[in-house]
């Protein structure tokens, strides 16, 4: 008997709560009973010593990792599925910091040349020049973010400085816009005549002002103060600066990302296993179900999301769609976050938002089609019109992210008509050599508002039928009696059923390798009356076995 319980009914733990037979039998593995040890005195018609005596409620079932049972304010229960539709990180939005080239040539201009030629050998001549370089951030859709400032995580300014003058020179390279520990970068380089030297400046944790004193963006000014010591009368030559800021990575970018599309794609799906076990149904009506969409944003950027489609699918219906054109509001907006904080927004879809239009469904109609999964597709725009921007415009930190998650809440409240569930799993009776026949009797006290008829089909490994245990014509569980106003069970119903397996069937049971379970479930009045499942609903299951052994 242990095989009968453990191999058949342990599988029931993966099935939805309303399938009450599977719920109470899921505890069957508490018993350890072996056909070879059966004796006639183990049967008691009054169940004084039952093989199983167990009380089960919905909390006894195992649920998927993304699912939990929720007790509502009126003590009714809902099944809740959660999942993440999409997450965008800063690295998904900003592909890179564009390279920062440093290429300039210092020459003595006409004025400088005339002045240099007038000084005596051994004297010095000093001039100042500057170069503007650009630093910008490329977004994944090809647009450029206008930057006001950057805090770098890493980066090195590599400069090669070539002096082609036949004189020594000293160059002070100052970059007031780049500061480390609050101090602007400044380096003094001594250059020999006709020589080349290398300068490497570590920019880790440097803060860069890219506004050039508030007049522009994406710009860095480098100031070169050059002092040439005259060693001869040859005035030809120049100083060539070449290089770049390499391996630049950012901690945080401040600036303006403008209005651009951030996402335009199908999101990940939320799977709804409750519907996957249902092979066909004559009807389901769910009351008060809802989908809550949550947007968490740690970017300093406001976003608006408009849903292009929300698709459901199951093999019977194919693809079907929620009416996204009537979702209110049309643009789902989440504001910019403050640094180190998260901005959140939620949008709830329910029985009135949206309403159906044409072939596009309301939420009730959408869920009544029993989607195996729910897949949104959306456009998301940065800095939408009408949304106040932060004073510092936008920011993107290396840790910034934006995510859209969903919570699907399905109250166990509605009407069920003609659910048909079918499942197949491995099973073996083991040895039955000493058994001539046996009788299985169940006594079930049902406090749930559903009735159920079942059929167990035992097959060999090739699915050839060996034996069928059929309770479809007389449900082995009758629904409890419910209150018409509250839809709550007020009186449990007791059902007794008895099944005989004997004759030429028993010797063939050794062939059994698989069992097919078929269940037909309906709420009160064959699905015509609304019912609710409450936290205090339970079912008491008693089972006994009487075996007739061979003499």
Helix (H, G, I), strand (E, B) or coil at 77: strand
Do 26 and 48 share a structural domain?
yes
Do 211 and 104 share a structural domain?
yes
81 falls within a domain: no
534 falls within a domain: yes
Do 366 and 335 share a structural domain?
yes
68 falls within a domain: no
423 falls within a domain: yes
Sheet holding 67-71, edge to edge: 67-71, 77-89, 401-411, 290-297, 343-349
Query: E-strand spans in 230-342?
Result: 239-256, 261-266, 270-271, 278-280, 283-286, 290-297, 303-314, 318-321, 332-334
Do 460 and 367 share a structural domain?
no
How many domains does the structure of the chain reveal?
A: 3
Query: Please, are residues 190 and 175 in contact by the beta-carbon 8 Å criterion?
Result: no
Do 343 and 313 share a structural domain?
yes
Do 284 and 384 share a structural domain?
yes
From the list 244, 71, 95, 239, the residue with the least C-alpha distance to 161 is: 239
First to last CA, the chain: 20
| CB neighbour class for 157 (10 Å; exposed up to 12, middle 13-18, buried from 19) | buried
List, as one string, the DSSP characters of 334-370. Answer: EPPPPTT--EEEEEEEBTTBSPPBTTBBPHHHHHHT-
389 falls within a domain: yes
SS (H, E, C) 530-544: CEECECCCCEEEEEE
Helix (H, G, I), strand (E, B) or coil at 259: coil
69 falls within a domain: no
What does the pLDDT profile of the chain (551 residues) look like in tens digits?
333 333 323 322 222 222 333 333 333 333 333 333 334 444 443 333 455 567 777 777 677 788 899 999 999 999 899 989 888 888 877 866 766 788 899 999 999 999 999 999 999 999 999 999 888 777 766 677 889 999 999 999 999 999 999 999 999 999 999 999 999 999 999 999 999 999 999 999 999 999 988 889 999 999 999 999 999 999 999 999 999 888 888 999 999 988 887 655 557 888 888 787 665 555 678 888 999 999 999 999 999 999 989 999 988 889 999 999 999 998 889 999 999 999 999 999 999 999 999 999 999 999 988 899 999 988 888 899 888 777 668 999 999 999 999 999 988 888 776 556 666 778 777 677 777 877 777 778 888 888 877 777 889 999 999 988 775 455 567 788 888 888 889 999 988 777 788 888 888 888 888 878 776 777 666 657 788 889 998 888 776 767 677 76
Query: Please, are residues 407 and 81 in contact by the beta-carbon 8 Å criterion?
Result: yes
Do 243 and 131 share a structural domain?
yes
Q: Which residues pair with 421 in a beta bridge?
A: 278, 519
Q: What are phi and psi of 122, to 5 degrees?
A: 100, -15
Is the omega angle on the peptide bond into residue 15 within 30 degrees of 0, that is, cis? no
Question: How far is residue 225 from each of residues 171, 342, 423, measured CA to CA in Å?
Answer: 6, 46, 83
pTM of the model: 0.76
Residue where a domain terminates, one of 256, 286, 302 = 256
Residue 47, C-beta contacts closer than 8 angstroms, at least 6 positions apart: 53, 441, 443, 542, 544
Residue where a domain terminates, one of 368, 390, 411 = 411
124 falls within a domain: yes
Do 461 and 362 share a structural domain?
no
Do 160 and 144 share a structural domain?
yes
Is the omega angle on the peptide bond into residue 424 within 30 degrees of 0, that is, cis? no
| CB neighbour class for 40 (10 Å; exposed up to 12, middle 13-18, buried from 19) | exposed
Query: Please, are residues 351 and 365 in contact by the beta-carbon 8 Å criterion?
Result: no
Do 243 and 104 share a structural domain?
yes
Distance CA(11)–CA(27), nearest Å, equals 11
Query: Please, are residues 440 and 499 in contact by the beta-carbon 8 Å criterion?
Result: yes
Do 42 and 56 share a structural domain?
yes
Max CA pair span of the chain: 133
The pLDDT score that the predictor gives to residue 91 is 81
| CB neighbour class for 121 (10 Å; exposed up to 12, middle 13-18, buried from 19) | exposed
Q: Which residues pair with 540 in a beta bridge?
A: 55, 445
Do 372 and 235 share a structural domain?
no
76 falls within a domain: no
The pLDDT score that the predictor gives to residue 309 is 92
Q: Which domain holds residue 388?
A: 277-411
Residue where a domain terminates, one of 411, 442, 465 = 411
């Amino acid at each position: 008997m242990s095989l009968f319980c453990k191999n058949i009914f342990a599988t029931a733990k993966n099935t939805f709560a309303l399938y009450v037979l599977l719920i109470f039998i899921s505890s069957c593995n508490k018993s350890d009973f072996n056909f070879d040890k059966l004796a006639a005195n183990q049967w008691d018609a009054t169940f004084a010593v039952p093989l199983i005596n167990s009380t089960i409620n919905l909390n006894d079932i195992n649920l998927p990792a993304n699912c939990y049972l929720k007790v509502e304010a009126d003590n009714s229960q809902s099944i809740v599925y959660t999942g993440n539709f999409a997450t965008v990180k800063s690295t998904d939005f900003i592909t890179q910091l564009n390279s920062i080239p440093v290429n300039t040539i210092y020459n003595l201009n006409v004025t400088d040349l005339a002045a240099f030629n007038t000084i005596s050998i051994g004297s010095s001549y000093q001039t100042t020049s500057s170069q503007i370089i650009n630093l910008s951030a490329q977004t994944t859709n090809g647009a450029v973010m206008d930057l006001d400032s950057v805090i770098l995580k890493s980066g090195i300014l590599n400069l090669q400085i070539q002096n082609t003058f036949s004189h020594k020179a000293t160059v002070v390279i100052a970059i007031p816009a780049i500061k480390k520990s609050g101090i602007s970068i400044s380096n003094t380089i001594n250059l020999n005549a006709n020589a080349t030297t290398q300068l490497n400046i570590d920019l880790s944790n440097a803060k860069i002002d890219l506004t050039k004193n508030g007049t522009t963006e994406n710009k860095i000014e480098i100031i070169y103060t050059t002092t040439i010591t005259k060693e001869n009368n040859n005035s030809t030559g120049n100083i060539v600066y070449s290089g770049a800021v390499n391996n630049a990575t950012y901690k945080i970018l401040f600036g303006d990302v403008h209005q651009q599309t951030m996402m335009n794609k199908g999101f990940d799906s939320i799977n709804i296993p409750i519907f996957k076990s249902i092979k066909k149904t004559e009807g389901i009506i769910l009351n008060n179900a809802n989908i809550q969409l949550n947007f968490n944003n740690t970017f300093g950027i406001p976003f608006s999301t408009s849903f292009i489609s929300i698709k459901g699918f199951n093999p019977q219906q194919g693809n079907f769609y929620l009416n996204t054109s009537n979702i209110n509001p049309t643009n789902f907006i989440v504001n910019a976050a403050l640094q180190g904080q998260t901005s959140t927004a939620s949008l709830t879809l329910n029985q009135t938002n949206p309403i159906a239009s044409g072939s596009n469904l309301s939420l009730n109609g959408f869920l009544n089609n029993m989607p195996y999964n729910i897949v949104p597709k959306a456009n998301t725009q940065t800095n939408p019109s009408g949304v106040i921007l932060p004073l510092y415009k936008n920011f993107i930190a290396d840790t910034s992210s934006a995510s859209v998650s969903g919570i699907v809440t399905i109250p166990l409240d509605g009407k069920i008509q003609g659910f048909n569930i079918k499942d197949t799993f491995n099973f073996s009776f083991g040895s039955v050599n000493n058994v001539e026949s046996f009788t299985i009797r169940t006594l079930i006290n049902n406090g749930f508002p559903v009735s159920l008829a079942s059929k167990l089909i035992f097959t060999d490994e090739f699915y050839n039928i060996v034996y069928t245990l059929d309770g479809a014509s007389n449900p082995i569980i009758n629904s409890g009696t419910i209150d018409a106003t509250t839809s709550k069970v007020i009186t449990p119903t007791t059902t007794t059923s008895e099944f005989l397996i004997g004759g030429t069937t028993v010797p063939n049971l050794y062939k059994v390798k698989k069992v097919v379970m078929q269940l037909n479930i309906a709420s009160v009045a064959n699905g015509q009356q609304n019912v609710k499942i409450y936290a205090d609903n339970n079912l008491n299951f008693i089972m006994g076995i009487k075996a007739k052994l061979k003499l």
